[in-house]
Amino acid sequence: MISNFIKFNESLDRDINKLKSDVVDAFAYISDDNNVSIEIKLSEVIVEIKTILPSSTIHSDLEEYINKHALWQETLLDINVAIEQLKSKGDIDFLVKINTVGNVRINFFIINTKLFKTDNNSITISRINLTKLINDNSIIGINDRDESHSFNRNEIRFYFSSPKTPEQQIEFSDKITKIFTDNGLINVGDEGIKIKLYNYNVDSILVEIFQFKVRNNIPLRGRYKNVKIQHTI
């Protein structure tokens, strides 16, 4: 059941600073000879390693160029070993991105099954766990397909590889509503929740979540919590 999937054992929650410490230890050897930065951003630890093969450099010595490639190849293998070392801990996962120049960026995050967290001002939703719960292979993006788009503070936008029929839209709407209500985003005391779903265009569906902001148990009419979505929480 979805509720069982989302049930979170706080005792398994790794502190983000402990995660950073583990990442620093795993990349210590690589940091000795490479330009490596490690920082915490939101609920992730970001590692960036600059390549030693800048695209703007023109080499006139072929052997020197070959040696640099060999050194960078060794660094890439060391990076892979560091990643596997962290993965072996069992509660850490990652995403790797390598740009066209060759710089490596790795996002490490703590594995959990929490769908969202909420405070007096905002609701933060885990994109990775929401995607797992929806389990729809036609979804190609959630809020991040077009980073230039300015999203409303209550808005989640789902993008699909093909248009959904009216029947499929209703089915999707019911599924999303059930996912959130099954996991606690419901009417509680003086705090109310409504979820509005509608087709935005031929290949996307818009979800708007409205939850009252409560101060001293008195709801402020027209004041809602901001809805944020990030890869993991």
Environment class of 135 (CB within 10 Å of its CB; exposed 0-12, middle 13-18, buried 19+):
exposed
Report the chain's C-alpha Rg in angstroms: 22
Same domain, 98 and 120: no
Cα separation, 65 vs 59, whole angstroms:
6
Same domain, 105 and 142: no
Same domain, 105 and 144: no
Which among 174, 171, 176, 170 is positioned nearest to 157, based on CA atoms? Answer: 176
Number of domains forming the structure of the chain: 2
Q: What is the pLDDT along the chain (233 residues), one digit of tens a residue?
A: 333 333 333 334 468 999 999 999 999 999 998 999 999 998 899 999 999 887 777 878 889 889 999 999 999 999 999 999 999 998 899 999 999 889 999 999 998 888 998 887 888 999 999 999 999 888 888 886 555 455 677 888 888 888 888 888 888 888 888 888 888 877 655 556 777 777 656 677 888 888 876 655 555 555 778 888 888 88
Same domain, 68 and 133: no
User: Residue 9: what pLDDT?
Assistant: 38
Same domain, 207 and 170: yes
Same domain, 170 and 198: yes
Domain boundary among the residues 58, 81, 110 is at: 110
Same domain, 143 and 190: yes
User: Residue 40: what pLDDT?
Assistant: 95
User: Residue 208: what pLDDT?
Assistant: 82
Domain boundary among the residues 74, 94, 110 is at: 110
Rounded to the nearest 10 degrees, the angle between the axes of helix 166-182 and helix 127-134 is: 120
Domain boundary among the residues 79, 110, 141 is at: 110
Residues spanned by the domain of 29: 2-110
Cα separation, 81 vs 30, whole angstroms:
10
Cα separation, 41 vs 47, whole angstroms:
10
Same domain, 120 and 226: yes
Amino acid at 146: D
Same domain, 57 and 139: no
Which among 186, 189, 226, 187 is positioned nearest to 208, based on CA atoms? Answer: 226
Structure tokens at 61: 């010595």
Same domain, 225 and 168: yes
Same domain, 39 and 70: yes
Structure tokens at 198: 């509608």
Q: What share of the chain is helix, strand, coil (3-state, %, to 5)?
A: 35, 35, 35
3-state secondary structure of 203: coil
Cα separation, 218 vs 61, whole angstroms:
73
What is the C-alpha end-to-end distance of the chain, expressed in Å?
21
- Residue 24: phi and psi, rounded to 5, are -60, -45
